[in-house]
Amino acid sequence: MEVTMTHYLVLAALLFLTGMTGFIVRRNAIVMLMCVELMLAATNIVFAVFARAHADGGGHVFILMNFAIAAAEAAIGLAILVEIYRRRRTVNVDDLKALME
């Protein structure tokens, strides 16, 4: 069977759903951030698919933008987690519910 655009889009959807489920299920804040990265990678694939479909390089440019955003998100997210760990000695989101109570 020939590989079509739909195949790539379904692959991206599967990855996004995996990342989404992981974000809900996992309790480790660092792994939750990694699941966000997985979702961003899935959107990158969609950008690449439509760049290919329309023969327009704009999609590639916005994948690069997405790289920058992922890097910024990882840097700030991890800085916040390190600071939380310094104060609370944990990165388990079940233990970090000061705002909930």
Partner 1 sequence: METFLFWFCGAAMVLGGLMTVVQRSAVVSAVWLIFAFVAAAGIFALLHAPFVAILQVLVYAGAIMVLFLFVIMMLQGPVLEGERRRMKPALWPAVAIPPLAVLVLVGTRIADHGTAAFTTPLPAGFGSPTHVAELLLGRYLLAFELISIALLVAIIGALAIGKEERKLPWK
Residue of 55, 98, 99, 100 interacting with partner 1 (CB under 8 A): 55
Confirm or reject binding of residue 36 to partner 1 (CB under 8 A): no
Confirm or reject binding of residue 43 to partner 1 (CB under 8 A): no
Shortest Å distance, C-beta 20 to partner 1? 7
Contact 69, 40 (CB under 8 A): yes
Shortest Å distance, C-beta 5 to partner 1? 5
Rounded distance, CA 27 to CA 3, Å?
Answer: 37
Rounded distance, CA 5 to CA 85, Å?
Answer: 44
Shortest Å distance, C-beta 30 to partner 1? 5
